[in-house]
Structure formats: C-alpha cells, structure tokens
Amino acid sequence: MVMVRKAFILLKAIRFEHTVFALPFAFTSAVVASYGWPRIPTLGWILVAMVGARTAAMAFNRIADLDYDRKNPRTADRALVTGQLSPRALWIVLIVAAAAYFLAAAMLNHLCLLLSPFALAALLGYSYTKRFTIGTHWILGFCLGLAPVGAWIAVRGQISLAPVILGAAVALWTAGFDIIYSCQDIAFDRKHGLFSLPARWGARRALLVAAFNHVATVWLLVLFGHFADLGWLYLLGVVLLVPVLFWEHRMIRPDDLSRVETASFFANGVFSVIFFLFAAADVILISGRIRI
C-alpha cells in the first residue's frame, strides 16, 4: 500500500493526467500520416516517447521551481515542498523517463533518434524561461507543438508542412491557456521578478492576447485540414471546438480568476479529445484513406 500511495503522489506531482493535452494531437498526426491507424508497435512507441518526455520535463520543472514553489501560497502543498517526495526521487524518475524516451525514439526510426536530444533539451530548458522572458508561454507552446511533428516523423521518417502547421496550432493553443493559467500568479511573479505576460501587462490585456492566440489556433487547424487533405467531418470537429474555447474564456474575468483551473485544464482536455476523435473519424470513415 505504501508503494501505491507513493505512486499516486508522484503522478499527482507531475500532473500525469495532463498528458491528455498533447497526446491526442500526436495521435492525430500519426493517424493522418499513416492514412489510417498506425501499426500497433509504432503507436505504442509514440505513446512511450510522449509519456517519457513529458514525465521527464515535469519532474525537472518541479525540481527547478522548488524554491519558488516554497514561497508561493498556491503551490505550497506540492509534494516536493511538503516533503512527500524528495528531489532524489524526482531525479530518478527523470532519468528513467528520459531513458524510456530515448529508447522509444531509437525504436521508431533514425531521424527520431537523431532529433530526440534537441526536443528533450527544449522541454527541460522551458523550466527556466520564466526567469528571463515573457515569451515563456510561447516557448511552452513550442514544446507541446513538437508532439505532432514528432509523431509524423515517427510514422513517415520525414517532415512535411502539414504537421508543422498542426504544431503551430498546438503552440498557440497552449500559449493561450498558459497565459490564462498564469493570471493566478500576477502578484507573486511581480514580487519575485518572474516574467509572464499577465505580470507585465495585467490580467485584462493578457486575457485578450490569450483570446487572439485561440482565434489563430482555429485558423491554423483549418489550414492543417487543407494541407492534410481532410474532409467535412474534420472541419465539423474544428467548428465544435469554437464553443469550447468560447466557454473557456467566458469562465475567466480579470476581476474573477476563481475558475482558472477549470478553464485551463478541463476545457482543454475536452478540446484535445474532440479534435482527435473527429480527425481520426474523418481519416478512417470519410476520407477513405485507410492503408491496407
């Protein structure tokens, strides 16, 4: 029971459930690149690579931000702050997760393995960006946007324009909800010299920028559908994403940030799952591109 409890504490510490944000986009890219469901081994190694990379990145983020998390009332109950987990435990998790990530890249193809160190470096390096640039939100977006590009390379062994467009959409979508999330820490960031768009511009203008990011996200998703030769079912899915984004922004007001957690996480989990379901259904049922 102690081991199970520790495992749950660890999963909560690295917000394992938030893997759902990037994973559906990676799977969508793999499905489109495969003209249908990818081969099971390929899909499995993509899953291992995604989970390994994100776990390593989140473990490192918790270690890198420990001093700030101790001072921030919002993060004072995190396992590393309270002593439920030790930095040594998270270093072990990081090393194991990174090893799994590199193994998965090697099992996929040569190009995946060649590019894997650069992707992991970006994921780990993000943890320090809030110390020197308000561009931190878009750097996080870039990191998540690597997921569909990497999945495409995993399937085809080469890069194309379509996954780059999808990666850009994921980047702007992520930056938008990270800006919303960062509104919680405006006072703390200003006091401790940390960089974020809300801390620099205030919640009202930051939320407008987040909305513009999400408008651009929808446009890029439509563009991805064009270059990926997707059909009407995919476009219907994109249309259905608009009210999800609208609801997310309606949940938040500059003078009322009490529902930021719901807006930033639940809404975006729904967003990514809807996107995957409609994109996959279009490829398999409508576009008639199933590979035999």
**Residue ranges covered by each domain of the chain:** 18-286
Tell me the per-residue pLDDT of 33-76, one tens digit each, with 9 for 90 and over.
998 889 999 999 999 999 999 999 999 999 999 999 999 998 88
Under the banding of pLDDT at 50, 70 and 90, the label for residue 18 is low
Residue 75 pLDDT = 86
Tell me the per-residue pLDDT of 79-125, one tens digit each, with 9 for 90 and over.
888 888 889 999 999 999 999 999 999 999 999 999 999 999 999 99
Cβ atoms of 196 and 136 within 8 Å: the answer is: yes
Tell me the per-residue pLDDT of 226-237, one tens digit each, with 9 for 90 and over.
999 999 999 999
The yes-or-no verdict on residue 289 having pLDDT over 60 is no
CATH domain 18-286 topology: Tetracycline Repressor; domain 2 (1.10.357)
Under the banding of pLDDT at 50, 70 and 90, the label for residue 191 is very high
**Mean pLDDT, the chain, integer:** 90
Tell me the per-residue pLDDT of 237-284, one tens digit each, with 9 for 90 and over.
999 999 999 999 988 888 888 888 777 777 888 999 999 999 999 998
